[in-house]
């Protein structure tokens, strides 16, 4: 993890938060594009849902949150929402590919 900049005003804090928010959106976009690619390698909707993989991700995220002193429950909730939505996107990609 990179060092956290020490800010000297509320506006500077807000500006840094805005930068981080923009980076988060870009990273989520990248993740979404990879999810769409993953659909091409799956053979069924059950394989798209990949519950074992989701459990693995959630455990890894919670562990990383604990390491970084971030509430793991909050991270779990955020990732649950993101993963649920991306699974739906991947299912749509899978069905639109005609692979089923």
The conformation of residue 39, written as its DSSP 8-state character, comes to: G
pLDDT, residue 97, reads 75
Task: Please give the CATH number for the structural domain made up of 17-96.
Answer: 1.20.59.10
| CB 39 within 8 Å of CB 90 | yes
To the question of pTM greater than 0.95 for the whole model, the response is no
Please state the rounded mean pLDDT for residues 11-15. 98
pLDDT, residue 20, reads 97
In the numeric block, which tokens belong to residue 98? 């005609």
Q: Any idea of the CA torsion for 31, 98, 80, 57, to the nearest 10 degrees?
A: -60
Return the percentage of the chain with pLDDT > 70, whole number: 96
Q: What's the CA gap between 35 and 26, in Å, rounded?
A: 14
Task: Tell me the pLDDT of the chain averaged across its residues.
Answer: 93
- Count Cα neighbours of 57 within 13 Å in the Cβ-side half-sphere: 17
Q: Helices 72-96 and 51-67 sit at what angle, rounded to 10 degrees?
A: 150
Q: What is the pLDDT of residues 17-40, one digit of tens each?
A: 999 999 999 999 999 999 989 888
């Amino acid at each position: 993890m990179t060092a956290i900049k020490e800010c000297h005003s509320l506006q500077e804090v807000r500006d840094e938060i805005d930068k981080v928010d923009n980076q988060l959106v870009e990273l989520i976009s990248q993740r979404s594009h990879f999810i769409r690619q993953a659909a091409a390698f799956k053979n069924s909707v059950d394989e798209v849902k990949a519950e074992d993989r989701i459990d693995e991700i959630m455990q890894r995220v919670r562990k990383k949150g604990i390491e970084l002193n971030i509430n793991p429950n909050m991270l779990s909730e955020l990732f649950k929402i993101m993963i649920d939505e991306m699974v739906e996107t991947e299912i749509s990609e899978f069905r639109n590919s005609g692979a089923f």
